[in-house]
Structure 1
Amino acid sequence: MKFATPVFVTALLAASAVPAAAQQAAAQQKSEQTAKQDPDAMVCKTLEVTGSRFPKKQCHTREDWARMESDAKTLMRDVPGRVMPCDGECVPLPPGDPSGHGH
């Protein structure tokens, strides 16, 4: 019976460690969810650079990333129907002039 006591103590310690580990995992998951919702949290992304084999790391807040994505979508939505005149130097058309004449 000398071995029964250490085995019992080991089992008891292991059983008490499981709830602590579960609580720690739950707390970590909750903090990650909170961080995902925080618009001021910094997020770093690795972006591919055209003409280079080396990616570039950029860090911005979640709010900035969302704004940049929205701006890019708006630009891509507006560009296909627009004609840009180029007389030596290309300039974007004013927002209300879809004719391409700039007058």
Structure 2
Amino acid sequence: MAEVIATSALKASEGFTRLMPSVLVVVGYAISFYCLSLTLKVIPVGVTYAIWSGVGVVLVSLAAWYLYGQALDLASLIGISLIVSGVIILNLFGKVSVH
């Protein structure tokens, strides 16, 4: 969630010209990388990054739609659905993930 908040705040920072959104970006990414480092102690890096990036894409897309009114067309929705399906398959059926 910290990464999604940081990425969403990146637009609001307007190129790091607005203080509070810029602080949110830096703090959010610091928290997210710390949490990622903890996760890597238990889950392989490939699986971790696939889940992080997949879930991040979906949540940031939804946040951009909600916060900034960015449209999600049919191709975007299909792509997001495929990403969600991939993360689910990886978690449920992958032999390298932790269950």
TM over 0.5: no
Relative contact order higher in (CA < 8 Å, ≥ 6 apart) = 2
Q: TM-score normalized by structure 1?
A: 0.28
Q: What TM-score do you get using the length of structure 2 for normalisation?
A: 0.28
**Structure that is richer in strand per residue:** 1
In terms of Rg, which structure is larger? 1
